[in-house]
Amino acid sequence: MKRIIAIVCGGDTSEFEVSLRSAQGICSFIDKEKYTIYIVEMHGPDWHVQLPDGTRTPVDRNDFSFRTADGRHVRFDFAYITIHGTPGEDGRLQGYFDMLRIPYSCCGVLAAALTYDKFACNQYLHGFGVRIADSLLLRSGQTVSDEEVVSRIGLPCFVKPNLGGSSFGVTKVKKREEIQPALAKAFAESREVMVEAFMEGMELTCGCYKTRQRSVVFPVTEVVSHHEYFDYDAKYKGDSDEITPARISEELADRVKKLTSAIYDIVGASGIIRVDYIVTEGEKINLLEVNTTPGMTATSFIPQQVRAAGMEMGEVLGEIIENNLSELEEAEER
């Protein structure tokens, strides 16, 4: 009997539309001969399933199920989470699925909460020897003077939401008078804001996934933005060159891939992750951030890297689904 898969998308941040596009990408990749696929869209308390006829039906949150038009009760066997932001990237949804004993595609509660918090994750990984930029964290209600930013972090610097992605609310600050407006912009997106030192160098990104059978690190992608940094338009409107494999030495590519694999294990990841870096002078590899629910449209980094590795996205997603299904089944048998 075919497994019933929910592709869970939407969420409660500015990345809502990006998540919907990722869901469509995943839906196009997954083997329909093997799985029955439904897209589940979430926004606040509104959870609904998109049915094949274009209608919507509500999700019963008591057991993550729904009823068809003819009254059939359908309960999902697996959740592929592709929400970029809360509640799918920060551990909240993972806790819900854990309580219902429904397996899902990505890391668990602790790893999700840690990696969603950029400042906490970077500081944690720094303790394991990973290079990061100097930064400071502000929570809602806290302030920082222009003088302190300049003396502690320097200019230029980046002001960004600590909890969020897709470059929403991010500003590259080059002048002292831009600091406070940039903080206000970032606080409009998140209750926590990170001020991070600018690092001059090449931007690289690398994906990875692991199952009980094997560990796969994808080819490294070089990111060349046509703007001053990799902002929303560069990411989603084609204003960048994304080169896979990256135009770097085999030795540097190997170091990036080994670091990506190590970070995967340190944070306790599961499913596919993507780690972003800046390589500065002397080929020093500096961490930008860890993404545990990376974008999954046909042109996103991960599908590009999978193709460059000579693999098929459907096979990769199938591996992850079957691995996580079997892990839960074996745990229940013990």
Dump pLDDT digits (tens) for 149-198.
999 999 999 999 998 655 678 999 999 999 999 999 999 988 999 999 99
| Distances from the Cα of 291 to the Cα of 52, 72, 97, 158, angstroms | 31, 37, 20, 18
Give me the torsion for CA of 321, 323, 324, 328, rounded to 10°: 130
- Residue-wise pLDDT for 283-319, tens only, equals 999 999 999 999 998 889 999 999 999 999 999 999 9
* Predicted pLDDT at 236: 46
For the full predicted model, state whether its pTM sits above 0.85.
yes
User: Which residue blocks in 167-300 are alpha helix, DSSP H?
Assistant: 179-187, 232-236, 250-267
3-state secondary structure 72-130: CEEECCEEEECCCCCCCCCCHHHHHHHHHCCCECCCCHHHHHHHHCHHHHHHHHHCCCC
Structure tokens at 251: 């030795």
Given a cut of 70, is residue 228 above it in pLDDT? no
CATH class of 3-105: alpha beta
Structure tokens at 24: 């469509």
8 A C-beta contact, residue 12 and residue 86: yes
Question: How confident is residue 225, by pLDDT bands cut at 50, 70 and 90?
Answer: confident
Amino acid identity, residue 309?
A
- The topology (CATH level 3) of 113-131+199-320 is D-amino Acid Aminotransferase; Chain A, domain 1 (3.30.470)
238 Cβ neighbours under 8 A, 6+ residues apart: none
> Does the bond joining 87 to the residue before it have cis omega, within 30 degrees of 0?
yes
Task: Find the mean pLDDT for residues 109-113.
Answer: 97
* Predicted pLDDT at 136: 96
- Residue-wise pLDDT for 29-85, tens only, equals 999 999 999 999 999 999 999 888 889 999 999 999 999 888 899 999 999 999 998
| Distances from the Cα of 202 to the Cα of 15, 54, 163, 230, 285, angstroms | 25, 44, 24, 11, 10
DSSP, collapsed to helix, strand or coil, labels residue 274 as: strand
* Predicted pLDDT at 220: 98
Range name among 45-54, 100-109, 204-213 with the lowest pLDDT average:
45-54
Given a cut of 60, is residue 104 above it in pLDDT? yes
Given a cut of 50, is residue 235 above it in pLDDT? no
8 A C-beta contact, residue 206 and residue 275: yes
* Predicted pLDDT at 227: 61
* Predicted pLDDT at 234: 43
* Predicted pLDDT at 297: 87
* Predicted pLDDT at 291: 95
CATH 3.30.470.20 location in the chain = 113-131+199-320
8 A C-beta contact, residue 106 and residue 271: yes
Question: How confident is residue 90, by pLDDT bands cut at 50, 70 and 90?
Answer: very high
* Predicted pLDDT at 58: 97
CA pair distance 176, 153, nearest whole angstrom: 12
CATH 3.30.1490.20 location in the chain = 134-197
Structure tokens at 56: 């919507």
- Residue-wise pLDDT for 193-208, tens only, equals 999 999 999 999 999 9
In degrees, to the nearest 5, what angle opens at C-alpha 300 toward C-alphas 22 and 319?
70
CATH 3.40.50.20 location in the chain = 3-105
Nearest to 105 by CA among 80, 82, 138: 80
Phi first, then psi: give them for residue 172, nearest 5 degrees.
-90, 115
Question: How confident is residue 231, by pLDDT bands cut at 50, 70 and 90?
Answer: very low
* Secondary structure letter of residue 238 according to DSSP: S
As a whole number, the mean pLDDT across the chain is 92
Nearest to 126 by CA among 224, 292, 263: 263
In degrees, to the nearest 5, what angle opens at C-alpha 233 toward C-alphas 216 and 21?
55
8 A C-beta contact, residue 77 and residue 4: yes
Phi first, then psi: give them for residue 268, nearest 5 degrees.
75, 45
* Predicted pLDDT at 190: 87
CA pair distance 326, 60, nearest whole angstrom: 25
Given a cut of 80, is residue 328 above it in pLDDT? no
* Predicted pLDDT at 189: 86
CATH for the 134-197 domain, from 3.30.70.890, 1.20.1740.10, 3.50.50.60, 3.30.1490.20: 3.30.1490.20
